[in-house]
């Protein structure tokens, strides 16, 4: 089904399996229907913490730095 193919492709991307064989193996072994460990790890790291810079920080064009010693 299209849903299984989407899940298999997402899982293949998560493990850097960019080949048709990787996706085929995931579908053949039913791994697309199993929870993906990589998604669980991503959820853990997507929690908001005060000490983690968000994407807004990296979108800034210039970052203010302390003046250099030369000027």
Q: Which tens digit of pLDDT belongs to each residue from 28-53? A: 999 999 887 665 545 545 566 666 66
Q: What's the confidence (pLDDT) of residue 26?
A: 93
Angle (CA) 40-41-45 rounded to 5° is: 120
38 with 53: CB under 8 angstroms?
no
Residues 6 or more apart whose CB falls under 8 angstroms from that of 27 comprise 4, 5, 8
The pTM assigned to this predicted structure is 0.52
CA distance 34 to 26: 10
Decide which of 65 and 16 is more confident: 16
Q: How confident is the model at residue 21 (pLDDT cuts 50, 70, 90)?
A: very high
pLDDT of residue 64: 64
pLDDT recorded at residue 30 = 94
Q: Which of 33, 34, 37, 13 is nearest to 23 (CA)?
A: 13
């Amino acid at each position: 089904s299209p849903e299984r193919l989407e899940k298999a492709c997402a899982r293949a991307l998560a493990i850097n399996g960019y080949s048709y064989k990787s996706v085929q193996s995931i579908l053949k072994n039913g791994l697309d229907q199993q929870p993906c460990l990589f998604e669980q790890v991503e959820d853990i790291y997507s929690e908001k913490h005060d000490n983690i810079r968000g994407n807004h920080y990296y979108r800034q064009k210039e970052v203010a730095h302390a003046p250099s010693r030369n000027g």
